Amino acid sequence: MRTGAALLCLLAASCAAPPSKWGGGIVSTNPCADAMLVELVPPGRIAAISHYSKDPTATSIPLEVAARFRSTTGSAEEVIAMRPDLVVASSFTAPATREAYRRAGLKTLYLDSPVTIEASKRQVTELAAAIGAEKAGEAMNARIDGAVAAAAWSGPRAPALVWIAGNLASGSGNLLDQMLALAGFSNQAAHYGLQFTGTLPIERIVTDPPRVMLVPDQPGRLASSRAAEVRGRALAHLGGRVTQVRFERSLVNCGGPTIPRAMARLAEVRRGLR
């Protein structure tokens, strides 16, 4: 019996992923934490990232980068089985899952969704401190500050609408709203009265159009969805009154290291407007 039990243990160990020198490593079930982690620590310290980062509509990191890592669906059973040193999750994590982590003795860090650049920088600092990467966190925040300064616009603001997907748009009270303002735009969705992220009737856009529409699709190559078709017809009706430009879907999901890329793109678009 003892020999059989020992053999089973050896077989189980041989099937498990080899432990890194950091022990169980870091498991993230938060896609925005994924984006920070891949820039803050060596790949070997990351045991798994969230499955969202392998979804083109939800990721904030390049898909080819996400493909290098194991992903997790985020179920408590799956995460606990990995025996990580740290779990980085969302503040929206279900109470039952939190309790399961607690009972398993896992160290956890729950991150919210920052709605300002300063709040996002504080989150970078918090995560960097939790993983012993303070210097890397300081460098990331310095890149954010540099990108914001480089994109600063002091002239008149151009009304802009960030069309996320389908008929979803980005309104007021979020991080993207602040980035638009800093880069020289006024948020047209906020002008319509939309808060955070929500749907907009196409009729409202046609009757009171923005100067520029930031979309995740290539101009002239709209996604083959009903909402995209409606949007395409509306833009055709508006003629040259609305400039449609590409704004990658990955730029609207998170803060942290996404901010420099988003600010650079917004500045590029603003400079290109006559």
- pLDDT at site 18: 42
Q: Which parts of the chain fold into alpha helices (H)?
A: 2-15, 31-40, 63-66, 76-82, 95-103, 117-130, 134-151, 175-182, 188-191, 202-207, 226-238, 258-272
CB 124: neighbour CB atoms within 10 A?
26
Residue 6 CA: distances (Å) to CA of 10, 51, 81: 6, 34, 20
> In the chain, what are the domains?
19-147 (3.40.50.1980), 155-272 (3.40.50.1980)
For residue 113, the model assigns a pLDDT of 95
From first to last of its 274 residues, the chain has per-residue pLDDT tens of 333 433 333 333 333 334 344 348 999 999 999 999 999 999 999 999 999 999 998 999 999 999 999 999 989 999 999 999 999 999 999 999 999 999 999 999 999 999 999 999 999 999 999 999 999 999 999 999 999 999 999 999 999 999 887 778 999 999 999 999 999 999 999 999 999 999 888 888 888 999 999 988 654 444 446 666 766 777 777 777 888 899 999 999 999 999 999 999 999 999 999 7
d(Cα 124, Cα 177) in Å, to the nearest integer? 20
Task: Please report the pLDDT score of residue 218 as a whole number.
Answer: 52
